[in-house]
């Protein structure tokens, strides 16, 4: 087993925990649907959080030829799924029996933290890629990631509903733009 394969396995464990946390919580919300008041902006953020988990995992492939790995490289790489796990924990409530949930209230209670953590993911991923690869890649995915970070910034500063609604629409549009990279072969 190569060092990269070992690190990929460790990353996959943390990322898998984050994805399962989001999916499990969505399942709980479906089970409690009679006690849940949904909010479309919240649903958009849940989608962004899940897609970020998947994209971050696949983006690791760009490091498959990197050697040697340092502790700093490893930490920069592993901070991303840890931050995304925290986002997954905050983005969807832990559903308890007989309790009602207003996802609009829940969203705004955690919005600054979730947006701040997602911005941290963008920043750490840009720094990590630059450090690990030894250069800043000027590519479509990098530019898209920077724009996502910029779009998220107002949500970390304010909880004004109009700002968050605009962000939700922009993030969905950016995810649609990101679909252009889906057909690009991995590796």
Tens digits of residue pLDDT in 139-148:
878 899 999 9
CA dihedral (63, 64, 69, 75) in degrees, to 10, reads 50
Within a domain: residue 187?
Answer: no
Quote the domain boundaries for residue 36: 3-181
Per-residue pLDDT at 113 exceeds 90: yes
Confidence of residue 82 (pLDDT cuts 50, 70, 90): very high
Within a domain: residue 89?
Answer: yes
What pTM value is reported for the model?
0.92
- How many domains, in total, are found in the chain? 1
The pair of three-digit structure tokens given for residue 33, joined into one six-digit string: 């649907």
The pair of three-digit structure tokens given for residue 167, joined into one six-digit string: 């962000």
Our measurement of the distance from residue 88's CA atom to the centroid of its chain's CA atoms, rounded to an integer in Å, reads 8
Within a domain: residue 186?
Answer: no
Once rounded to an integer, what is the mean pLDDT over residues 147-167? Answer: 97
Within a domain: residue 85?
Answer: yes
């Amino acid at each position: 087993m190569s060092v990269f394969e070992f690190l990929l396995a460790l990353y996959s464990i943390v990322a898998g925990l984050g994805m399962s946390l989001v999916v499990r919580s969505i399942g709980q919300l479906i089970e409690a649907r009679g006690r849940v008041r949904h909010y479309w902006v919240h649903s958009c953020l849940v989608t962004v959080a899940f897609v970020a988990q998947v994209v971050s995992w696949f983006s690791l492939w760009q490091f498959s030829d990197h050697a040697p790995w340092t502790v700093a490289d490893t930490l920069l790489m592993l901070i991303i799924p840890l931050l995304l796990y925290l986002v997954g924990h905050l983005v969807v409530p832990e559903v308890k029996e007989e309790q009602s949930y207003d996802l609009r209230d829940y969203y705004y209670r955690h919005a600054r933290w979730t947006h701040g953590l997602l911005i941290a993911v963008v920043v750490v991923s840009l720094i990590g890629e630059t450090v690990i690869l030894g250069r800043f890649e000027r590519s479509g995915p990098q530019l898209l990631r920077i724009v996502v970070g910029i779009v998220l910034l107002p949500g970390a500063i304010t909880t004004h509903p109009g700002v968050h609604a605009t962000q939700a629409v922009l993030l969905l549009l950016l995810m649609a733009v990101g679909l252009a990279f889906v057909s690009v072969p991995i590796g």
